[in-house]
Amino acid sequence: MLPDLIEIIPPGRRGDATVVLPGSKSITNRALILAALARGRVVLKGALWSEDTQAMVECLERLGLAIRVDGDPREPANRTLTVEGAGGRIADGGPPTQPLELFVENAGTAARFLPPLLCLGRGSYRVSGIARMHERPQAALLDALRQLGYRIDSANDRLPAVIEGAGPRPGASCSVSVQESSQFASALLLSAPIGGWTVTVTGANEDELPYVDMTRRMVKAFPWQGGTYDVEADASGASYFWGADWLLRESGSRVSVMPQPKSGLQPDQKFLELVVQQAWRSSYSRRTDLADSIMTAIVLAPFAPAATRFTDLGRLRVQECERVKALRSELTKCGARVAESGDTLTIEPGALVGAEIETYNDHRIAMCFGMLGLRVPGMRLSKAACVRKTFPNFFAKLGELGAAIRDVASGQVLAGHSLLA
């Protein structure tokens, strides 16, 4: 287990390295819902095994789904998950005074994808998570479920919420806004084939909804009568190592990843082309260019040849932490010149120094600045074990690139299981 404060010591040697990526969290948790809805045994190969996906598995098991978990010899952070699909049948909930409890930790996908599935059951189900999850938007999804005819009780249209399952409602229709999160639409589209619902998506143009497109493509391609589904490697996780390649190539080192995401399912697949392979651009948009990997580009920006604007960052403010503020604050600690205006950050090129980074219990903050430590000496990360959310062996992968990870309190260089979150 990672200690509370670690330091990244940059590689002392040049050389080429290849990093094996774990599976995509976004694809794994969608595939788990679809497997639960399928009418037969579904084997998910290359599935990510992290805090978010374990939370989803535990909730599905509480709903009566049989799920077998086997190791994956190709990647320690992956599993082969065998799900006995039940065609949308789940365990009954409790009475309104004692609903069946489902705890989603800090997993936004579980918090959004489970309520429509619960509507297909019978009885009362209560969905809750950690304190931050109770602050994140949920209203548009709950409103859409009410449009479909289901009763949803919530004090403020956030979690915790009680869902009253009433089974499928063929012919029911709803409209859902994705202005705050595209996960609301994805949640409904995953369960719509069994629920018999028609879902209309509002609040964005189709070309602005890559994760909704991911969901639609997965629903179409999924083995609904049973079979095998391969989970693609994580493109968001790949961005840190594509970014490492960009950071280290000046020293003569090169970093490649495998397997390389190629399907086009994941919007962060574009990071390789837009940031690493093309000339650095003067502006990147969270809405039209990059998804979570825009955070990776933001921490690379001080090494860019000129000032860079990062626009349309509003959704970053309502995720695992207030990410716009966190990025500005922690980069400034490192000596970066960062200006915030509305939902735009502008970052000037300039030298960086090491600093003690607050991770805000946000896996992506920890991984962004962990990557930066490959080039900037003295980078210290507080409570970096939050990477367990999506990439539990991230720091072991940094070690494969020649970095040393040191426990600041003891001075010991970590190895083996000590590098796992």
Q: pTM for the full model?
A: 0.97
Burial 275-311 (b: 16+ CB within 10 A, else e): bbeeebeeebebbebbbbbbbbbbbbbbbbeeebbbb
Same domain, 286 and 160: no
Same domain, 276 and 173: no
Closest CA to 347 of 372, 379, 380, 377: 372
- Name the domain boundary from 166, 198, 230: 230
Give the integer Cα–Cα distance in Å for 208 and 186: 14
Give the residue-averaged pLDDT of 241-269.
Answer: 95
Closest CA to 51 of 387, 395, 417, 418: 387
Domains of the chain: total? 2
Percent of the chain with pLDDT over 90: 96
- Name the domain boundary from 175, 198, 230: 230
Return the pLDDT at 204. Answer: 82
pLDDT at 205 over 80: no
Q: What are the CA-CA distances from residue 188 to residues 43, 54, 115 (Å)? A: 23, 21, 9
Same domain, 47 and 171: yes
Count of CB atoms within 10 A of residue 254's CB?
14
Return the pLDDT at 14. Answer: 80
Q: What residues act catalytically?
A: 292
Same domain, 387 and 265: yes
Give the residue-averaged pLDDT of 389-404.
Answer: 97
pLDDT at 149 over 90: yes
Return the pLDDT at 402. Answer: 95
Residue 172 is part of which domain span? 25-230
Same domain, 185 and 245: no
Contacts of 264 (CB under 8 A, 6+ apart): none
Domain CATH code at residue 267: 3.65.10.10
Same domain, 62 and 103: yes
Same domain, 71 and 144: yes
Same domain, 206 and 268: no
Same domain, 50 and 10: no
Burial of 167 from C-beta contacts in 10 A (0-12 / 13-18 / 19+): middle
Question: Mean pLDDT over all residues of the chain?
Answer: 97
Alpha carbons within 13 A on the beta-carbon side of 28? 31
pLDDT at 207 over 90: no
Contacts of 170 (CB under 8 A, 6+ apart): 195, 196
- Name the domain boundary from 210, 230, 250: 230
Same domain, 118 and 176: yes
Same domain, 152 and 109: yes
Same domain, 336 and 225: no
